[in-house]
Amino acid sequence: MIRLGVLASHQGTNFQALLDACQAGKLHAQIAILICNNSAAPVLQRARSAGVPTMHLSGATHPDPELLDGAMLKALKHAKTDLVVLAGYMKKLGTQTLTAYCNRLINVHPSLLPRHGGKGMYGMRVHARVIKSGDRETGATVHQVVGEYDRGEILLQGKTPVRETDTPETLASRVHKIEHDILIRAIHDLQSGIEPCQKSPL
């Protein structure tokens, strides 16, 4: 069983989907820690209600970016994290964390990358851009995390048509379901190549 460190910023629907998959046995994994950069985010209550350890780490707790990066890495290591999952996390990770968890950091993004990715492209902004661009299909992408937003290797994508009647909200409701599905599938696919924390050098 691998241990997941989940990073989230807001509602936590992807976190909930992962938690449900772990509890149902769809994933041979355990969420070891939830780290959030928003102390008022509903995802924190979701985690606490499920008994998942939580931590708030942000510019408010650590104004120095290097110290914040160090605190993030320390928390992940202390939780014996094998795979780090960004599930609606809105901040860049620091060099220490990126290096220590190289190839063990994944993110789910609400578009078909490389379209509609990059700085400032998240949530409803992405879906509004998809509609404005006249795209005929959209979806979600799970990719490796690197130093630049949404630039890592694409691991898995799921698609849905864009309808003439779609609004950002209706599009989001369909894409959310795709995000949940491909995130669980991607973790399942990656599990065989990840050694559990007891054997990890971290």
Domain containing 56 — which CATH number? 3.40.50.170
Q: How far apart are CA 74 and CA 55, in angstroms?
A: 12
For the cut 90, the answer to whether the pLDDT of residue 98 exceeds it is: yes
Q: How far apart are CA 124 and CA 194, in angstroms?
A: 33
pLDDT tens digits along 115-154: 999 999 999 999 999 999 999 999 999 999 999 999 999 9
Nearest to 8 by CA among 31, 26, 27, 30: 31
Tell me the average pLDDT across 155-170.
Answer: 97
For the cut 60, the answer to whether the pLDDT of residue 2 exceeds it is: yes
**pTM, full prediction:** 0.92
pLDDT at residue 197, as a whole number: 45
For the cut 70, the answer to whether the pLDDT of residue 49 exceeds it is: yes
Residue 37 domain boundaries:
2-199
> Rounded to 5 degrees, what angle do the CA atoms 36, 37, 42 make?
55
- The CB density around residue 171, as the number of other CB atoms within 10 Å, is 22
| Number of domains into which the chain is organized | 1
**Which residues have a catalytic role annotated?**
109
